[in-house]
C-alpha cells in the first residue's frame, strides 16, 4: 500500500505544474541552462493563424530571461506540419 501511494504521489507531482516555473523559459532560467530547445506544437486548425503568435510569445518569454534565438526547425509528419523545434541560448 505504501509503495502504491508513494508512486501515485510522485506521478502526481511530476504531472502537475506545482512549481514556480510557468513556462519553458521560466524553467530554463530556474535551472540556469545555457541553451534550450523547445517544441512548439501546432495542429491542423491553428497552424495558419496561431503558429507565428505562439513563436513570438516564446521568443518574448525567453528574451526576458536573457536568451536569444538560435534556430527554428519545422517538424513534419506524413507531409503535415506538426510544430517547430525552437532553440535558444543564453546571451
Q: Is 29 part of any domain?
A: yes
The structure's pTM equals 0.70
Write out pLDDT tens, residues 44-76.
Answer: 777 777 888 889 999 999 999 999 999 999 999
Q: Is 9 part of any domain?
A: no
Q: Is 3 part of any domain?
A: no
Q: Is 31 part of any domain?
A: yes
Q: Is 6 part of any domain?
A: no
Give 80's Cβ-side CA count (13 Å radius): 9
- Whether the predicted pLDDT of 12 surpasses 60: no
Domain that includes residue 82, residue range: 21-90
SS3 46: coil
For position 81, what pLDDT does the model report? 87
- Name, in order, each residue with C-beta under 8 angstroms of 39's C-beta and a sequence gap of 6 or more: 75, 83, 84, 85, 86
Domain count, the chain: 1
Q: Is 11 part of any domain?
A: no
pLDDT confidence band for 43 (50 / 70 / 90): confident
Q: Is 27 part of any domain?
A: yes
Amino acid at each position: 500500500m505504501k509503495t502504491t501511494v508513494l508512486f501515485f504521489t510522485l506521478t502526481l507531482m511530476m504531472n502537475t505544474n506545482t512549481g514556480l516555473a510557468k513556462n519553458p523559459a521560466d524553467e530554463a532560467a530556474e535551472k540556469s541552462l545555457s541553451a534550450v530547445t523547445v517544441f512548439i506544437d501546432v495542429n491542423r486548425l491553428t497552424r495558419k493563424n496561431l503558429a507565428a503568435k505562439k513563436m513570438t510569445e516564446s521568443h518574448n518569454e525567453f528574451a526576458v530571461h536573457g536568451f536569444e534565438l538560435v534556430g527554428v526547425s519545422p517538424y513534419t509528419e506524413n507531409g503535415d506540419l506538426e510544430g517547430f523545434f525552437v532553440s535558444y541560448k543564453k546571451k
